Amino acid sequence: MTNHQPVNIVMIEDDEGHARLIEKNIRRAGISNRIHHFTDGTTALDYLYQSPEGPAQNGPALILLDLNLPDMSGIDILARIKAEGSPLKRTPVVVLTTTDDKVEIQRCYDLGCNVYITKPVNYESFADAIRQLGLFLSVIQVPDIGDAD
Amino acid sequence: MPQTEQTQSRFTRRVMALVAIGFLALIAAGVATAWLQARSQQMGNWVEHTLGVQARLADFASANERVETARRGVLLGGGTDFRKRMDLAAGEARAALDDIARVTADNPRQARRARALRDLLVRQRELQLRSISTTDARRSAAQGAFEDDPAVIVTRQVRDLSRSMIAEERKLLAVRQVEQANALATFYAILALTGVLLVIVAAITLTVMLRYTRDLTASRIELRRLNQGLEAMVDARTAELQRANQEIQRFAYIVSHDLRSPLVNVMGFTAELDAARKTVSAHLDAVEASSPELVAEAVRLAVREDLPEAIGFIRTSTQKMDRLINAILRLSREGRRNLMVESVDLDALVQSIVDSLQHRVSDVGAEILAEALPALTSDRLAVEQILSNLIENALKYLNPGRPGVITVRGHNEGDRVVLEVADNGRGVDPRDHERIFDLFRRSGAQDQPGEGIGLAHVRALAYRLGGLIEIRSELDRGATFRLSLPRVLKPGGE
């Protein structure tokens, strides 16, 4: 984590249960960063780009993204974040979804996703994966938004 | 179409009948012509014959007249010149009469007349000779009595008779000429009739054939149209089927994914619940240790037994559901995979499957016999999955009472390759032969782990490879799975 500003975790996940489980396990990994949770794509994008507290305006962030959202596909959000000229281009995106289709995975990496994790149905594996993600988050360096461009 | 066949045979019969009539008419015309020709020839001969007889009669008549003239010359005192001339003419008349007698032998009336003529001629000759040998004294008398001269009378009779013969011949000639003309007319009539018949037959035949050809062309066009329609229909149906199939695959994919999501929650929160239960249980232990009177029996039962039991059931059920969802997902994914058609070395493929199963094979004390297998061009992965599923199945359902023997064999059948996996295991009840290929359905004693997916998967793969799979088996008699695949899978053919 950067020393001058805490990294916000933006979680875009339509399933409340999954969100709760993810949050629980991240906390268990010892991550105490603030987690902003959104259950649909529209409000999430609004927060990312428009909110004065959002990462586009204010400070580094890390995005946890589910692909199956009610109002749009997570792929669209990913494409928008990683598009040329986007202020969030360098913001790390972790795709965390149930889909393990090879084509889908390839597409996400092509679009610039940084990590792709399939949610294991088996809870022990799931908890394990999220905890490891937490550990990963504790060592990962996130660029300041000011560094962008 | 029987109606068309009927029409066809009727048409053939009609044409054959017409052609036969045409030929018969031709033959009749030929025969009639030949007959008429012969007849007309005959008529011509007769006419010629009559003309000859007439000429001879004329000769005879003129010779006769000359005899008479010469005789008169002799009587009038002419020299031996007249006498010679008379003899000559008489000879000619006799010769002519002989000819006439000969050629009129066929006509009894003329023959009679000819005979009469001959008699008259003999008598005339006699009288003439007598008249010229009489004395010169009587000659003058004879000269004066021409009217009474018997020779003259006989000569007149001869003249009359020969004239009547000429008349007879003329009559015959007229009759024969009429007959000849009639024959010719008949000939022309028959010829004309035959010609008309031929024209009619030709016209009818042509009409029938034209109509038939027109019908044929029409039906060919109709057939082509139907054919094209059929192709279009087959294409449409195939596209529809493919769409439906894709729809089902897509549906299976989405459903299984969407089912997974809640399952994550069920399992996750069950785990959380279990964790919470453990906390409560630990607390309960502590309370029980310090002051057991505070712990109610119901609470202890709930924490120690009911909760773990409920959590256990939730877990096993969700795990099973997870496996089922994964199976559907795998099937749908397999259905969407692009087939890679290549030459498959079946022997090596079976050997690698056997090698990978070697551990289990020796565990259950079975053996796998792989015979030489035919060449195959297909999707390697799919064939491998089918065979490995079948062999694994055979290994799984052996009869524990006897050492297991699993045989993999194959042969060519036309343009297909038949592969068989036979075992001497517990077999499958014939009632279940269809059922075992259904998803999540199993047969026999449920003493082996499994979800009833393997054979459903095998059948789906076999269908995708354009193949068929069937089982021949009886309970406790082993089972033989028979897989029939096209020897060369057409790329893109689904």
So what's the pLDDT on residue B482? 93
Distance (Å, whole) CA B100 – CA B112: 11
> In A, which residues are within 8 Å of B271 by CB distance?
123-124, 127
Tell the burial category of A39 from Cβ atoms under 10 Å away from its Cβ (0-12, 13-18, 19+): middle
d(CA B261, CA B197): 94
Q: Is B342 on the interface with A (CB under 8 A)?
A: no
Does the structure show a pLDDT above 60 at B137? no
Contact list in A for residue B257 (CB cut-off 8 A) is: 68, 98-99
What are the pLDDT digits (tens) for A95-144? 988 877 788 899 999 999 988 988 877 778 878 888 888 887 777 777 76
Best A25, A121, A125 residue to mutate vs chain B (most B CBs within 10 Å): A121
Cβ atoms B114, B162 nearer than 8 A: no
Confidence class for position B3, pLDDT limits 50, 70, 90: low
pLDDT of residue B143: 56
Q: Do B261 and A123 touch (CB under 8 A)?
A: no
**pLDDT at B175 (0 to 100):** 86
How would you list the strands of the sheet with A115-118, edge to edge? A35-38, A8-12, A61-65, A93-97, A115-118
Probe site for chain A from B249, B260, B317, B330 (most A CB atoms < 10 A): B260
- B311-324 pLDDT tens trace: 999 988 888 888 88
Q: Which CATH superfamily is domain A8-141 in?
A: Response regulator (3.40.50.2300)
B257 to A17: CB separation less than 8 angstroms, yes or no: no
Using an 8 Å Cβ cutoff, are B442 and B450 in contact? yes
Contact at CB, A121 and B258, closer than 8 angstroms: no
B463–chain A Cβ distance below 8 A for any pair? no
Contact A98 B257 (CB under 8 A): yes
Residue B136 — pLDDT band, cuts 50, 70, 90? low
Question: Higher model confidence: residue B326 or residue B424?
Answer: B424
User: How many interchain CB pairs under 8 A, A with B?
Assistant: 52
Which sequence spans correspond to the domains of chain A? 8-141
Give the one of B257, B271, B318 whose C-beta lies nearest to A99's C-beta. B257
- In tens, the pLDDT along B164-196 reads 888 888 888 888 888 888 878 887 888 888 888
- pLDDT, residue A148, reads 42
Long-range interactions of B323-330: CB distance < 8 A, separation 24+: B323/B451, B324/B440, B324/B451, B325/A121, B325/B256, B325/B259, B325/B260, B325/B263, B326/B256, B327/B439, B327/B440, B327/B451, B327/B453, B327/B457, B328/B252, B328/B255, B328/B256, B328/B439, B329/B252, B329/B253, B329/B256, B329/B257, B330/B453, B330/B457
CB contact under 8 A, B267 and A122: yes
CB distance A17–B265 less than 8 Å? yes
More confident residue, B156 or B395: B395
Sheet with B479-486, strands from edge to edge, namely: B367-370, B405-413, B416-423, B479-486, B468-473
For residue A99, list chain B residues with Cβ-Cβ distance below 8 A.
257
Query: At B1, is the pLDDT very low, low, confident or very high (cuts 50, 70, 90)?
Result: very low
In chain A, what residues touch B267 (CB-CB under 8 Å)? 121-123, 126
pTM for the structure as a whole: 0.50
- 8 Å CB contact of A121 and B269: no
Is the pLDDT assigned to residue A2 strictly greater than 50?
Answer: no
| Chain A residues closer than 8 Å to B318 by CB | 121
